Amino acid sequence: MIWIISTLLLLPYIEGQSSIGNRCSFTQQCGPGAFCYENVCRKDGCTLSSHCQIGELCQYGMVNGQRRPACFPASIDKETTEEYCPGGGAVVVGFDGKLTTCDLLKACSNGHVCNPQFGICCTKLRTCPRPSKTMLNAVTGQPIMCQIKFGRVMPCPGEGSCETKTGFCCIKGPQTNTSTAVSSRPYRGQTCSTQVGCDGGAACICSNSRVCRCECSTELGYTISSDGRSCVRQRRRLKEKCKTDMECSAAFSECSTGGCRCKTGFQRDGDGGCKPISYRCPAGLPLTKKEEVVKCSLSKKLMTSFKSLKTASKTKNETTEESAAINSTFSDYVADDCPQGNYCVPTFDDSANPGFYQGFCCPSPNDIRPICPVGIAHETSFYPDYGCAECPNDYYCHQDRMATKKSICCPKPCVSLEDVFHDGQCYPIAYYGDSCQISAQCSFFKASTNPLADISNLECSSGICTCPAGYSHSEGSCQRVMCTVGLRGEPSVDRNNQLIRCSSSSDCSQGHMCDPNGKVCCRGTNRCPKQFVETGELCTDTGSCKNPGEMCYWPKTGKVKVCCTHDESSN
């Protein structure tokens, strides 16, 4: 009996498969090159922490009765994790054993979330209290931060408010009361509290005497609107008068000598925007075609682990390694679309292709000196240390992971967190029903949970963010629900192009019936007997239906049998 139990316990390890990171009870379950520590299989030998998994350090410890360097978990106590990452998450530890930091300029990698109150990256984090919903950046998909390290509260987009307990922008969840909603937050000029915030785009600003009032945040480009109780964002074109950088709408522009002008390293492009005077690579010149710099696209998801295989020259062994990598299960190993011998240097978020950066192609580098791909680095980020410790808000921290591990402070295309960069201009993020100029501005809050729904992006039509023709706004997204009964095809819509919802066929007009799957009105004649409605399933061959409570019915004038379920109107 003991022999049988031992054999079963050894089953988790399969020869030829990696066991690093798997759960274990003892070392024999981990296989060669690994040992079991704190119920996880880890590498039993290393020289650098980079050889270990995330959250582990290469350090001396007991491995199978011997003291030697191996991969051990970084020692972060439970109290530290709960303080920095409330909500069940864990702090992210770098290869150096230190907590991974973040801010408005330095995002967390690998889908981790930044805790704005401490500037620490977490695997999971509580953002907004229920039933309110977290507001997400339309381009990056990350929660929008509104208060950094308990500093000044920044305005949130649209109807959002700053949750000062977490530092994130939140929006009210669905209301159970159908009466007209009345705002409980104060407007400009009224007293306020930082916990509740202000309405109408105002920010709750407190004086030294601790008196807090809703005011327009001028340093963020807001001014008093015509109604006197709300704040609007000023947008200025190149050469127009301005007071702050936030007012300038052209990408890579700033308010200089009282007007919006292109930043150093950029020039006017003739279309009201600013373009780079030159594109620079860490090594060599950018790839060009017909005297134009070759542009490219790079996946954000793979950027953190990106390693170019497209070197300019390869030995036989390198070619073999490349072939093995390409034929591996990690099919997206090469994450950009530059030709052989080049790689993609990311410069901006691609608003037309969420989840990707846009950039330009550079030769595979050998140099280790960082350089801004466009524009001039900030005066605090130069040789020999570079770095981003003193990056201002209108710059971001750039790191070319192919060329060097050093970071450098480079100019942002758009200064505001509420802006989307598109075609040389900065546009404010807009939601369904908001005013807009281009479709790239429009964003919805969440994806649909309906598996039958065909989802589409919002588009800017007649200056308003709305759903495209044939789609209806439902559950926070644009959906096209196809009928599964009757004449099939698209369901009925009202004069506002909204789906006509139903709970029973009595909610639909004559010649229509309620689709029990999508709860929408569909054209067609119900073939089921009274108090029943079709499900869309046929039962001619089997004589029975899949779901309990349904019956297989043969219409008098029909050639096929149909499944019928109770129409809720009969209840």
Task: For residue range 18-31, list pLDDT tens digits in order.
Answer: 478 888 888 888 88
For residues 128 and 134, the answer to whether their CB atoms sit within 8 Å is yes
Q: Which of the listed ranges 302-306, 368-372, 386-390 does the model predict with the highest average pLDDT?
A: 386-390
Confidence of residue 263 (pLDDT cuts 50, 70, 90): very high
As a whole number, the mean pLDDT across the chain is: 77
Higher pLDDT, 175 or 174: 174
Question: Does the structure show a pLDDT above 90 at 238?
Answer: yes
Give CA–CA dist 410/400, Å, rounded.
12
Of the listed ranges 202-206, 312-316, 449-453, 566-570, the least confidently predicted one is 312-316
pLDDT attached to residue 390 = 82
- The set of residues, in sequence order, having a beta carbon less than 8 Å from that of 437 and lying 6+ positions away, is 427, 460, 463
Confidence of residue 49 (pLDDT cuts 50, 70, 90): low
pLDDT attached to residue 10 = 39
Question: Does the structure show a pLDDT above 90 at 260?
Answer: yes
Question: Does the structure show a pLDDT above 60 at 8?
Answer: no
Q: What is the mean pLDDT of residues 8-25?
A: 58
Higher pLDDT, 280 or 209: 280
Higher pLDDT, 475 or 378: 378
Q: Is 52 left (phi over 0), alpha (psi -120 to 50) or beta?
A: beta
Bridge partners (DSSP) of residue 499 are: 493
Q: Is the full-model pTM beyond 0.85?
A: no
Domain boundaries, the chain: 2-73, 262-312+335-412, 503-571
pLDDT attached to residue 453 = 62
Measured over the CA atoms of residue 294, residue 251, residue 266 and residue 298, the dihedral's sign is: negative
Give CA–CA dist 425/232, Å, rounded.
19
Task: For residue range 337-364, list pLDDT tens digits in order.
Answer: 888 778 888 887 777 777 788 889 988 7
Of the listed ranges 75-79, 107-111, 122-126, 514-518, the least confidently predicted one is 75-79
pLDDT attached to residue 446 = 58
pLDDT attached to residue 259 = 93
pLDDT attached to residue 405 = 73
Question: Does the structure show a pLDDT above 50 at 528?
Answer: yes
Q: What is the mean pLDDT of residues 457-480?
A: 80
Distance of CA 308 to the CA centre of its chain: 24
Quickly list H helices, 204-277: none
Higher pLDDT, 50 or 565: 565
Give CA–CA dist 514/277, Å, rounded.
61
Confidence of residue 308 (pLDDT cuts 50, 70, 90): very low
Confidence of residue 11 (pLDDT cuts 50, 70, 90): very low
Task: For residue range 394-410, list pLDDT tens digits in order.
Answer: 888 888 766 677 889 99
Bridge partners (DSSP) of residue 169 are: 162
Of the listed ranges 84-93, 168-177, 185-194, the least confidently predicted one is 168-177
Q: How far apart are the first and last CA of the chain?
A: 60
Query: How many CB atoms are closer than 10 A to CB 333?
Result: 17
Angle (CA) 251 253 258, round 5°: 145
pLDDT attached to residue 564 = 92
Question: Does the structure show a pLDDT above 70 at 78?
Answer: no
pLDDT attached to residue 80 = 60
Give CA–CA dist 313/319, Å, rounded.
9
Higher pLDDT, 38 or 267: 267
Q: What is the dihedral of CA 522, 528, 529, 533, to 10 degrees?
A: -50
Burial 498-532 (b: 16+ CB within 10 A, else e): ebbbbebbebbeeebbbbbbbbbbbbbebbbeeeb
- The residue written with tokens 């907590």 in the block is 99
Per residue, what are the HEC states of 494-553? CCCCCECECCCHHHCCCCEEEECCCCEEEECCCCCCCCEEEEEEECCCCCCCCCCCCEEE
Provide the token pair at 4: 């049988």
Question: Does the structure show a pLDDT above 70 at 314?
Answer: no
